[in-house]
Amino acid sequence: MIKKGIFLIVILTLITSCKSAKIADSNITNLSAKKIIKKHYKVGFDKESIRANLLVKYKGKADLPKLKASLRMVKDSIIWLSFTKIGFPIAKIMITPERVRFYEKISKTYFDGNFELISKSLGTDFDFQKIQNLFIGEALMNLKDKKYLVQIQQNLYELKPKKSNELFDIYFWINPYNFKLIKEEIQHSSNKNQRLTIKYDVFTEMNKSLFPTGFEIKAVDKKRKTVIDVKYKNVIFDTTMRFPFKIPKSYKKIELK
């Protein structure tokens, strides 16, 4: 169970204190979905790379103690994570647009393949772009690809698709003041009890960019609920980085069933 928990943390999780952007009770301007989406992308992440420390908590069938991780990411190119426990390295993951590689030291296993394993873990299709958007606080789906209805709910813009999808529906909640993503939820059309929810903490201003202080992933179905909470610390943009990664020869490969 510990091995499975660590693996899910590594797969799914893929700051300094500044000005906080919080929602206050006041009148919110009525805007069309098209204008909200345009403003959301206008304040999108505009840096080339990220280096940060993470604090990760996992709750599932078995809760795990807090883990620390190092994140290194080059936009549209590579996502690298190294996990430690009590100062000792326990796992690494490297994700590129074509490939997912991972190994962990407790059970001496590794994975080298495509995004199918991540998609099965979350119950919805994932690729490099979606994982990248998860870390930088942007919508998983391209909001420009569909038409949405908008309403104001709890001081947020709520976007929902005009037409339901045969497989799943996805909803977005946008901050009406800085137009950053507060929450998104994917619900399977045939099973409303199966859903994936991503929530973001407040966004802070760093080097003229708004960046989340952390996020929470909650995956729910009839049999289980998995919650992963991620907090960012010591975030640095646009710095030189290395991506050391080598799978030990003695490790056993994880095969998809």
Quick one: three-class SS letters along 61-126? Answer: CCCEEEEEEEEEEECCCEEEEEEEECCEEEEEEEECCCCEEEEECCCCEEEEECCHHHHHHHCCCC
Q: Is residue 256 part of a domain?
A: no
Structure letter (DSSP) for residue 60:
S
pLDDT of residue 255: 76
pLDDT of residue 23: 40
Phi first, then psi: give them for residue 182, nearest 5 degrees: -100, -40
Q: Is residue 257 part of a domain?
A: no
Q: What is the mean pLDDT of the chain?
A: 84
**Reduced 3-state DSSP string for 205-248:** EECCEEEECEEEEEEECCCCEEEEEEEEEEEEECCCCCCCCCCC
CA distances to 23, 161, 204, 231 from 208, in Å: 20, 32, 10, 20
CA distance 163 to 64: 40
CA distance 93 to 9: 11
Of the listed ranges 63-72, 85-94, 116-125, 225-234, the one predicted with least confidence: 116-125
Of the listed ranges 8-12, 90-94, 186-190, 252-256, the one predicted with least confidence: 8-12
Whether the per-residue pLDDT at 241 is higher than 50: the answer is: yes
List pLDDT tens digits, range 162-204.
Answer: 887 766 788 999 999 999 999 999 887 666 678 889 999 789 9
List pLDDT tens digits, range 220-238.
Answer: 887 788 899 999 999 999 9
Q: Is residue 255 part of a domain?
A: no
Retrieve residue 186's tokens: 């994917």
8 Å CB contact between 135 and 129? no
List pLDDT tens digits, range 130-150.
Answer: 999 999 999 988 999 889 999
Q: Which CATH number belongs to the domain containing residue 46 in this structure?
A: 2.50.20.10
Place of tokens 């813009």: 157
Q: Tell me the pLDDT band of 117, cut-offs 50, 70 and 90.
A: low
**Total domains in the fold of the chain:** 1
Q: What is the mean pLDDT of residues 225-253?
A: 93
Q: What is the mean pLDDT of residues 114-131?
A: 72
Of the listed ranges 1-15, 23-37, 72-86, 90-104, the one predicted with least confidence: 1-15
List pLDDT tens digits, range 4-33.
Answer: 444 444 444 432 223 333 344 457 899 999
pLDDT of residue 22: 39
Q: Give percent of the chain above pLDDT 90.
A: 55
The residue segments making up the domain with residue 153 are 2-249
Top pLDDT among 50 and 122 is at: 50
pLDDT of residue 132: 94
Whether the per-residue pLDDT at 3 is higher than 70: the answer is: no
Q: What is the mean pLDDT of residues 98-118?
A: 86
